[in-house]
Amino acid sequence: MDRTALADFLRRRREALRPEDVGLPRGARRRAPGLRREEVASLAVMSTDYYTRLEQRRAPQPSEHILSSLARALRLTGDERDYLYRIAGRNAPAAPSAPPHVAPALLRVLDRLDDTPALVLGDLGETLVQNGLAAALFGDASHLTGPARSAIYRWFTDPAARSLYPEEDRDRQSRAQVANLRAAHGVRGPRSSAGELVRALSAASEEFVDLWARHEVARRFEDRKTLVHPEVGPIEVDCQALFTEDQSQVLLVLTAAPRSESEEKLRLLAVLGQSRFAAADR
């Protein structure tokens, strides 16, 4: 671990970012360029004290989880992320097994979306990052681990995962989930995490086995859908998908028609979500 290089790199990357780059207001009293230490700590979900000690060369070696969070908070490119790992005394994560590194271009778009649900998904249906409204609508995915991180896995193994969709739409959703997995499996191959997911689902769900045998391949999302929230009821939304060039990640943006009942429900959901977060903070 090169503490001096790590401290300098973190400080320079922090100072290179503007608040608006990460969806934060600039504020009138900001004197120094870039982000404050407490802002980076908040984005990386760690204590300000620990982050400060990293920049002051006083912290113990950060874990791979901490490094992944810092790379995301500082909007590092893939090369910058690998450099961060190395100067922290860790091996740069190998591509097949690395924690997903969210494409900075998608993060920049997500940072500007705070009035409508938006989230970034990996090609196995794992939620990589979501804004507050997406968490209020779909549930907070940050606590999920193992195969359950994949929405595809949850769809076929957890009946509660289907409650967000009307019953008449669930067959179509099942086919879409499998078709998306088939596309990822074709790119990654049978020895990858996509192959592991296929084997796990084949052992857990006869429905999955039947759909997998159809060889339907697609990497897209329904343009318009109805989602059923347990507190505010059905919400009709339009779904826009923005893929990375290699299609390994997608930013989903859900919007409701202006002045519609669904738009009002999304506004109510935003208030409910903020109330929960405030209660959790207390």
Where does the chain hold its CATH 3.30.450.180 domain(s)?
104-281
Spatial separation of the C-alpha atoms in residues 190 and 185, rounded to whole Å: 7
Tell me the residue type at 201.
Answer: L
Q: What does each of the 282 residues of the chain score in pLDDT, given as a tens digit?
A: 889 989 999 998 999 888 877 877 776 677 767 888 999 999 888 999 999 999 999 999 999 889 989 998 898 887 788 889 989 999 877 644 444 678 888 988 998 888 899 999 999 999 999 998 999 999 888 888 889 999 999 999 999 999 999 999 999 999 999 999 998 888 888 888 899 999 999 999 999 999 999 888 887 777 889 999 999 999 999 999 999 888 889 999 999 999 999 999 999 988 886 555 444 444
The packing angle between helices 170-188 and 193-204, to 10°, is 140
At 94 the pLDDT is 61
110 CB burial (10 A radius; 0-12, 13-18, 19+)? buried
* Residues β-bridged to residue 233: 229
Candidates 170, 282, 145, 158; CA nearest to 226 is 170
Specify the fold of 3-87: 434 Repressor (Amino-terminal Domain) (1.10.260)
CATH 1.10.260.40 intervals, the chain: 3-87
C-alpha dihedral over 41, 46, 52, 56, to 10 degrees? -120
pLDDT at 28: 63
How far are the Cα atoms of 25, 132, 235, 241, 251 from residue 117, in angstroms, in the given order?
A: 19, 7, 12, 12, 11
User: Domain 104-281 is in which class?
Assistant: alpha beta
Confidence at residue 275, expressed as pLDDT on a 0 to 100 scale: 54
Q: Using a CB cutoff of 8 Å and minimum separation of 24, what contacts does 51-59 make?
A: 51/10, 54/6, 54/7, 54/10, 55/7, 55/10, 55/11, 55/14, 56/7, 57/3, 57/4, 57/6, 57/7
pLDDT at 251: 94
- 234 close to 96: Cβ distance less than 8 angstroms: no
Indicate the pTM of the whole model: 0.66
Residue with tokens 């060369």: 57
